[in-house]
Amino acid sequence: MFTIHYTLNRIIELVNPSKIQGKLDVDVFTGIAGLNKAKTGDISFLGNQKYKAEVFGSKASLILVPESYIGSPHPGQALLMVENPSKALDAICRDIELQCKKPLPTGIHATAIIDPSARISPKAYVGPLCVVGPNTIIEEEVCLQAHVVVGEEVLIRRGTFVRPHCSILDSTEIGCNCFIDAGVVLGSEGYGYETENGCHKRSPQLGRVVLEDAVDVGANTTIDRARFHETRIGEGTKIDNLVQIGHNVVIGKHCFIIAFVGISGSTTIGDYAVIGGQAGLTGHLCVGNHVMIGAQSGVNHDLEDNSFVRGTPTLPYMLAHRIDALKRRLPELFRRVDNLEKTFAYLTTDTTKACFLSKDERKN
C-alpha cells in the first residue's frame, strides 16, 4: 500500500479545480479511500453518480466532485470541483506512483539461462530463473521479472515490462512500452484441427503474435499464434485478465477488451472497440470501429462501425433492453391469455348460446 503525504496546494497543482468549497482542519492528506471507507486525512472522489448520497456521510477530508455537484462540505472538509473526478484522482495516483517508483534494475541474474545467440541490451534486466532462447532480441529498458520464458527469434522492444511466469513463445514480437502481467502466454498454439477417418489431426500453426506499442495484457490471458501470417494487437489496446484471443485475430488500436472475453480465430476488430466482460465472438467476423459490445454478449454476425449491441445473439442495445422488458411481462401475459381462453370457452357453450337466441329461434 502506498504511503502519501500531500498538501492542499499540491493537490490543486495536480487537478486544477474550478472551485473549492470548505475549510480544512488538516494540513496534509495521508490516504486515498472510497467515500464510505474514508477517514479524516483521506482523499476521496465521486466518480459515479450512483454514489452521490455517500458524499454527505463521508468522513474524507478532501472530496473531488464534478462541477455539477450541488451540496456543501462538513466542517473541516473541502470539496474540489473538477471536470472529471476520476481523471483528477488518476492524476494524483500517477504522481504517487512516480514518487514511489524504483529505478529499473539492469543486467542478467546469475540464475537466468541465456542462449549465446540472444542479444540483450546492457540496459535491460533479465530476472531470476528466466530463460531466453536463440536469436532473441531484448532492447534497452526491458524488464523481465522472475521465471519468464522467452522463446526463439522473439523481439521485445524498448521499455516493455514483463511480470513473473509469462511465456513469450517463438517468433513473438512485442512493441515499445508494453505491459505484460503475470502468467500471460503469447504465441500459444492456435486451436486448429482437421478430422480424417474419425481422428482429429492438429493443423500446424506456423504464424506469430505481434503486439504493437503500448499494449497492456492482463494476468493469465492467452493470445494464440496464427495458423499463418500473424495474430496482431493494435497500438494502445488494453486487454484485461483471463482473455482468450484465437489464432489470426486482428484487433485494432486503442481497444478495451474486458475480463473473460473469448475471441475466436480469424475475427477482425476495428479501432476503439469496447468489449464487455464475458462476451464471446465467433470466428471469421468483422467488427467495425468504435463498436461497443455489452457484457456477456454472444456475437455471431458482423458489426458495422459505431454499433452498440448486447445480448445473445446480439441486438442493438436499446432494442435488447425493450425485449428484456417484454420478457419480464411474459408470465402476466400468459395469465391473461389463459383467462381469455377460459372466458371464451365459457361463452361458447350451448347453454350460454341459448341466452342470445331470439324468441322464434328458441321455439324451434
Active-site residues, by number, are 247
Angstrom distances, CA of residue 59 to CA of 36, 45, 70, 144: 8, 12, 18, 42
- In degrees, to the nearest 5, what angle opens at C-alpha 358 toward C-alphas 356 and 364? 115
Which grid cell sits at 223?
A: 493470445
Q: Is the dihedral of CA 321, 251, 273, 217 positive or negative?
A: positive
- Grouping H, G, I as helix, E, B as strand and the rest as coil, residue 155 is strand
Contact 63, 76 (CB under 8 A): no
What is the C-alpha to C-alpha distance for residues 269 and 254, in angstroms, rounded to an integer?
Answer: 11
What is the DSSP code (8-state) at residue 303? B
Helix (H, G, I), strand (E, B) or coil at 325: helix
Least Cα distance to 118 among 110, 108, 129, 106 occurs for 108
Cα end-to-end distance, the chain, whole Å: 97
Report CA 32 to chain centroid distance, whole Å: 23
- Residue 265 and residue 225: Cα distance in Å, rounded? 10
The DSSP secondary-structure symbol of 162 reads E
